[in-house]
Structure 1
Amino acid sequence: MKTVKLAVIPGDGIGHEVVPGALRILERLAEIDGGLKFEFEHFDYGCDYYLQHGDMMAPDGIERLSQSDAVFLGAVGDAGKVPDHISLWGLLIKIRREFQQEINVRPAKVFEGIGSPLANPKDFDLMVVRENSEGEYSSVGGRMFHEEHEIAIQSSVFSKRATSQAMHYAFDLAASRRKMVTSATKSNGIYHAMPFWDDVFKEISEGYADISTTSEHIDALSASFVTRPERYDVVVASNLFGDILTDIGAAIMGSIGIAPSANLNLNGRYPSMFEPVHGSAPDIVGKGLANPVGQIWTAKMLLDHFGYTELGSMLLRAIEDTFREGIMTSDIGGSSSTDEVTSSILDKLQ
């Protein structure tokens, strides 16, 4: 019997509505497998915790989370209670950085039954590999002076180690898919960092002769995600560019509410973290409107990470079958509740 220990953080807002159903689905799949067991340890970290304790997590929170095999996160943030830069840097980004989760992976694909906002989505199926630890989201910089003289300086940081690591991961992933990798760049406008990115991409690509490559500027690439997403297989991008592209990917699927993601630690020293792309959506809390599929598809990525790809495929088929029957929440054109969508997916896991 294989036991996977999950640190469960529902977090804020609709995280408390979508996480429980995803855990029930993981338990159902473990029963189907027969040789898998999940152990859940729940943590109440989030904005309400901050209001009570002055921090987004306990002082020993990272140490406690490190005892798990993976972190399963719901949502972070409630700007009405805690400023976003405090909530995100105090929990989500803190976990990513402390656990060296240097790769972020987010898929986007067409689902039968969901009306994509694209007139002709052409069955796109792509993966974005995002460097998750540095780049434009470094904290190097500061603000100085006051009033009309105030200035802000933000420096991006690109290391060859982290850049190469993201690109190797993208090429290895493409080898199991359609063998195409696209690099997101902006070397015609960002003078130092992006030519460096291009040089590393060229160097890494020389070790993968069977993988076809393209390099596209982020503005044109963003437009192509809307006009021709079927062209892409695996896209590798810096922290900021990857963030932008994956939100576009979620939008062309039909809703950010169905988009999953994985924050991966590759050196084996710390747990990886799995979370949906959506936020905490405080405006719909308690109304049964939250789309549970982002969290549930995230559970599929967790299963794949631990080598249970058949269970992951079974779960994805159950999601697809649910959509085909028209069982979906209002954000993607349906009228079903959070619990009804979750129950339908559970029922299909036989």
Structure 2
Amino acid sequence: MDSTPLLVGSNELSAGRALLQDHPVFLRASHSPWCFIPQNVLVFFRGLILAYLIAASILVLNYETTDAAPGETNARLFFDFAIISGAMVLLYFIITFSWTFTHLYYPDPEEIDGGVESWVVNLMSLPRNLASLRQQFYFTLLYITTVVFSFMNTVIYWSITRPYDLENNDDGGTGDDDNGNGDGNGDNGDGNGFSLAAAPNTPFSDIFGEGWLKAFAIVNLFGITSIILVFEILFLNSIRRPSTISAYLFALMVFAGLYIGWAYIGHAATGIYPFFWLDPAEAGSQEAVTAYAIGFVLLAPIMFIFMQGFVGIRESLVRPHVIIQEGLGA
């Protein structure tokens, strides 16, 4: 069996008339819109990506905890934007893999007799009330926030953080660190880590010239996760653009603002700023910090629009009347 009916029965949607002409977002997250990606292939892709994310998370955490500068505490990771956005990506794929797997192989979890298997299958299965508008909003918000934060993380690192690190002869690490986070393999003898003067013709030596683990951590945190999410949007789910975006735009800006507050809590607890531009001494003035913070908050809706562009590309390539691949027979 490589597919399951998209809707078990119309009675599941009777509680939400607004959804009678559409499929709940939970099911859209569990079905690819492409005919060449049936359910069994989708389960394989989601399982493969989830396995990669778990392995990558272990390696990244190993790098972050073992390569910290003297005096740094691992508690700083709870406030690191890259780590937070990466954790959200991992959570999203755990949820969607569970739903896709059980929707294909255990479409009726109630038929399983009691025991550990029944408990696990019910835990991994789709929500019981597929028509719940509140639950659909919460999951959509999780999905959008995950993608937007990942895109923000990538844009901020490659356009702001890394150029700043290079200009200040930093080691191109994953956060603002006056002492450097490198392992010293690229040190030119002055104790400041990699120096551009040491290798003027190798523009990415700050990433690839100091060991494979650091290179993997940086590329994964600030590149691969966003690429995975673009692949997710284009091929692995059929979630539509929201009909009303004001609530999501407002929520994204609130979350971005809350992170700024969380970052300052992190500085109070660990003495480390997650971003250099949160430090008035590094940014130049308190006014500059305020400008950076405002830009951070405004970047969220910009990345939301960028995300919806990929959704629009997918919808323009898939036939308008095809919601889920034809093999589902929905």
TM-score range, shorter chain: under 0.3
- Please say which structure displays the higher CA radius of gyration: 2
Higher normalized helix content (fraction of residues): 2
Flag the structure with more relative contact order, 1 or 2, with Cα contacts below 8 A and sequence separation at least 6: 2
Q: TM (normalized to structure 1)?
A: 0.23
Higher normalized strand content (fraction of residues): 1
